Amino acid sequence: MHNLASYLRLYFIIEAQYIKARMQYRADFMISSVGMFFSSLATLGIFWVIFDSVPDLAGWSLTEMVFIYAFYMLAISPMQILFDHFWQLRFHLQGGTFLKYYFRPINMMFYYASEIFDIKGLIQFVAGLGLLVYSASLLQVEWTAQNILLLLVALFSASLVQISIVVGAACAAFWVLDSWPVLGLAWRLREFSPYPMNIFDGVFRFLFTYIVPIGFVAFYPSQLILRPDEVSTLVYFSPLVGIGLFALTYWLWTKGVNSYTGTGS
Q: How far apart are CA 37 and CA 44, in angstroms?
A: 12
- Report how far apart, in Å, the C-alpha atoms of 74 and of each of 165, 224, 256 are: 16, 16, 29
Least trusted range by pLDDT, from 169-173, 243-247, 257-261: 257-261
Percent of the chain residues topping a pLDDT of 90: 38
Q: pLDDT confidence of 26, banded at 50, 70, 90?
A: low
- Percentage of the chain beyond pLDDT 70 is 89
Higher pLDDT, 232 or 219: 219
pLDDT grade for 230, boundaries at 50, 70 and 90:
confident
Q: What pLDDT, on the 0 to 100 scale, is given for residue 249? A: 96
Q: What is the pLDDT of residue 159?
A: 95
Mean pLDDT of the chain: 86
> Confidence band (pLDDT; 50, 70, 90) for 15?
confident
Annotate the chain with three-state secondary structure: CCCHHHHHHHHHHHHHHHHHHHCCCHHHHHHHHHHHHHHHHHHHHHHHHHHHHCCCECCECHHHHHHHHHHHHHHHHHHHHHCHHHHHHHHHHHHCHHHHHHCCCCCHHHHHHCCCCCCHHHHHHHHHHHHHHHHHHHCCCCCCHHHHHHHHHHHHHHHHHHHHHHHHHHHHHHCCCCCHHHHHHHHHHHHHCCCCHHHCCHHHHHHHHHHCCHHHCCHHHHHHHHCCCCCCHHHHHHHHHHHHHHHHHHHHHHHHHHHCCCCCC
Q: What is the pLDDT of residue 244?
A: 94
Instruction: Report pLDDT for 23.
Output: 67
Domain boundaries, the chain: 4-259
CA–CA separation, 162 and 73 (whole Å): 11
pLDDT of amino acid 243: 94
Is pLDDT at 231 greater than 90 in this prediction? Answer: no
Q: Is the pLDDT reported for residue 185 higher than 70?
A: yes
Residues 6+ apart with CB under 8 A from 238: 153, 154, 157, 158, 216, 220, 221
Instruction: Categorise residue 24: left if φ over 0, alpha if ψ from -120 to 50, beta otherwise.
Output: alpha
State the Cα–Cα distance between residues 70 and 126, nearest whole angstrom: 10
Amino acid found at 121: G
> What pLDDT was estimated at residue 139?
94
Residue 91 pLDDT greater than 60, yes or no: yes
How much is the average pLDDT of 214-222? 90
Residue 199 has pLDDT above 60, yes or no: yes
For the stretch 30-39, pLDDT in tens is: 776 676 666 7
Query: Which residues, other chains included, contact 236 with Cβ-Cβ below 8 Å and sequence gap of 6+?
Result: none
Distance of alpha carbon 217 from the chain centroid: 8
Q: According to the model, what pLDDT value does residue 16 have? A: 74
Higher pLDDT, 233 or 67: 67
